[in-house]
Amino acid sequence: MSKAAASSVSPCLPVALGELDIFLFGQGKHWDLYRLLGAHPYDGPDGPGYRFAVWAPNARAVSVISDANGWTPGAQALHPVAASGIWAGCIPGFEKGWLYKFSVIQLDGAVVEKADPFAFCTEMRPGVAARAWDLDSYAWNDGAWMKQRRARGLPLTDPVAIYEVHAGSWRWKTADYGSFYSYRDLAETLVPYVRDLGFTHIEFMPLAEHPLDESWGYQVGHYFSPTSRFGTPEDLRYLIDVCHQNGIGVILDWVPAHFPKDAWSLGRFDGTGLFEHEDPRQGEHPDWGTYVFNFERHEVKNFLLANALYWFKEFHLDGLRIDAVASMLYLDYSRREGQWIPNKYGGKENIAAIEMLRELNVVVHEHFPGAAMIAEESTSWAGVSRPVYTGGLGFTFKWNMGWMNDTLSYFAKDPIYRGYHQNQLTFSMLYAFHENFILPLSHDEVTHGKGALISKMPGDQWQQMANLRLFLAYMWAHPGKKLLFMGCEFGQWKEWNSREPLDWALMDFPNHQGAAELVRALNALHKAYPAMHDRDNDWTGFEWVDLSDYAASVITFLRKAPDGSPVLWAFNFTPIVRENYAVGCRIPGFWREIFNSDAALFGGGNIGNGGGVMARPAAYGDWPEYLSLTLPPLAAVALTPEG
């Protein structure tokens, strides 16, 4: 049917919504809410078309405006569904791909155009209209992966190594801004690249539709629509499917903490604070200029929980990384006195947000066994990754921001001063097992004037490259899962700019090739030795050998597998070669050198231990044996006993 013909057809009678649907929505527990609200294919007595439903309880009237009816308010009116706050109706002849919005006559009589909160597909920015779409046009081929994920359960003992990607700036087709790789292009290029380097997961910065490129996706306009910058929803499904077929999990950044104030978006949807609090002391983030979701309202909580479940169910995601969790937990987050309202007990904790996060994690883990929920939480809130039944928030993992800040601060120091700051390396082990941690080196650390990872390193170019290799080795050796932002794996010199692709020309230079080889070797080591990952969250998987040699800026420790088999790590944080350096051990025989960040393959000087050393049968401190090692400059070595 032509758009002109469709525009002449009035909406049919309201689509019947079951009492159970309405009840569950009112309770905040309709997990398939996105199949109830929004626009969906519909075949009624007047022929096929689309049915529409939107929640706007305080609106005077709602109608569908589209390119099919000339964007005329009131031409195709929706009808109120009793006792639900929902307006609904169907339009015969409406076809997939047609653009539409809702015209809302708000409580005060103002007429506004609003985007569908449940849109599954949208037009390319700067347009904000939704496209009529469907959910069931893709045939998945990742059944083996999904079955294995369910059987395996949470990846707490897996060798998780995550490659963080901003899809709009990983690579471009040409030098012109906007020549992005599509989802399908990324399936052909990014997936084999990540697989070759040995990463287990890709974490994408937000892919939900957002109008402003510079927001990187953290100011979401359409929570249910993958951004059209890179293709259709089916194209994103294809990318995730290809990842799974290549043994790579997919994590997506998710932003339930706030949303933008754009007039066409969720804010003041029906003329009232519907998705947000009316009071700016509760409903706005002063720093970000955004609204805060009203977590106390059941329907709003349902919107967020159903959205999280939507990404898992309809896109087969393996995890969500929840942004800005601290801003949700604290009512006084980034607010001065008088800018916030205490909770009912007089405290600063956001009780409704805490309850929402706990329910979110329980529901996700119940519906999708093996899926990971990851918190970017920057405070010392206790129990972020502990089960809800123990009083925790129920996340699978928490980003270890303390480790990241302390380690980067240490590495930025000239080696001559590092001995005075060794506690910045050792302090993290006082709390390393309080949570299930991910060690993040994310986009936040290589932009906004912070410089690239390698540019944080002191010294000449040789020392900077050596320090980069040492930093990465220390990160992989330290307990905790790993996350590395794109470009850091080959030592990009420029800080990340979302309006430029990575500087891939550097991969023509041996030193940068060597850095990538080092990451490949670390990921292989990480997978091959259970000591390196199986007890990431347990003290029994770690043991200090010596943390006291601050004069030489050397630390040594063991990572231990469940059967006790160890990997010994020794780190020399100075540019001085340490020969005949004694390191205690308790296992006699030959210790094979399984890793050396100074290897020529990685761009180093190839100083090491000739493949390994024999333990010497003489007590060294509290250790019954010791190894006499050569520690390369600004380097890490790892050894394990033969047999």
Per-residue confidence (pLDDT) for residue 643, from 0 to 100: 72
Share the mean pLDDT of the chain: 95
Tokens of 245: 């077929």
pLDDT of 270 over the 70 cut:
yes
φ, ψ of residue 638 in degrees (nearest 5): -130, 140
Domain end call among 86, 115, 131: 131
What average pLDDT score do residues 491-506 get? 97
pLDDT of 10 over the 80 cut:
no
Let me know: does 545 contact 583? Beta carbons within 8 Å. Answer: yes
pLDDT in tens, 392-451: 999 999 999 999 999 999 999 999 999 999 999 999 999 999 999 999 999 999 999 999
The single residue of 21, 158, 185, 323 carrying the catalytic annotation is: 323
116 domain-assigned: yes
Identify the CATH number of the domain in which residue 116 sits. Answer: 2.60.40.10
Per-residue confidence (pLDDT) for residue 45, from 0 to 100: 86
Domain span at residue 626 reads 539-641
Give the dihedral of Cα atoms 334, 336, 339, 343; nearest 10 deg. Answer: 70
205 domain-assigned: no
156 domain-assigned: no
Let me know: does 561 contact 530? Beta carbons within 8 Å. Answer: yes
pLDDT of 9 over the 70 cut:
no
DSSP H/E element including 560: strand 554-560
Give the dihedral of Cα atoms 171, 175, 176, 177; nearest 10 deg. Answer: 40
Among 360, 354, 367, which residue's Cα sits nearest to residue 308?
360
How many whole angstroms separate alpha carbon 348 and alpha carbon 113? 36
Residue 320: CB atoms within 10 A of its CB come to 26
pLDDT of 61 over the 90 cut:
yes
- Structure pTM? 0.96
What average pLDDT score do residues 230-252 get? 98
Q: How far apart are the first and last CA of the chain?
A: 74
Q: Is 355 a residue of the active site?
A: no
How many whole angstroms separate alpha carbon 129 and alpha carbon 121? 9
pLDDT of 7 over the 50 cut:
no
* Sequence-separated (6 or more) residues with CB below 8 Å from residue 430: none
Per-residue confidence (pLDDT) for residue 17, from 0 to 100: 75
Domains: count for the chain: 2
90 domain-assigned: yes
Per-residue confidence (pLDDT) for residue 2, from 0 to 100: 56
Per-residue confidence (pLDDT) for residue 11, from 0 to 100: 45
Identify the CATH number of the domain in which residue 578 sits. Answer: 2.60.40.1180
Tokens of 131: 């496209």
500 domain-assigned: no
266 domain-assigned: no
Per-residue confidence (pLDDT) for residue 6, from 0 to 100: 55
Residue 585: CB atoms within 10 A of its CB come to 22
| Burial bucket for residue 494 (CB in 10 Å: 0-12, 13-18, 19+) | middle
Q: Is 323 a residue of the active site?
A: yes
Tokens of 481: 């899962």
Per-residue confidence (pLDDT) for residue 19, from 0 to 100: 87
How many whole angstroms separate alpha carbon 14 and alpha carbon 79? 6
pLDDT in tens, 592-643: 999 999 999 999 999 999 999 999 999 999 999 999 999 999 999 999 999 7
Of 77-91, 355-369, 517-531, 574-588, give the lowest mean pLDDT range: 77-91
The single residue of 376, 377, 489, 536 carrying the catalytic annotation is: 376
Domain end call among 80, 112, 131: 131
Pairing between strand 372-375 and 99-105?
unpaired
592 domain-assigned: yes
Among 363, 273, 266, 268, which residue's Cα sits nearest to residue 312?
363
pLDDT in tens, 78-101: 999 988 999 999 999 999 999 999
pLDDT bucket at 15, cuts 50 / 70 / 90? low
pLDDT in tens, 147-206: 999 999 999 999 999 999 999 999 999 999 999 999 999 999 999 999 999 999 999 999
pLDDT of 18 over the 90 cut:
no
pLDDT of 491 over the 70 cut:
yes
254 domain-assigned: no
Let me know: does 184 contact 247? Beta carbons within 8 Å. Answer: no
Per-residue confidence (pLDDT) for residue 21, from 0 to 100: 92
Among 48, 49, 61, which residue's Cα sits nearest to residue 87?
61
Domain end call among 75, 101, 131: 131
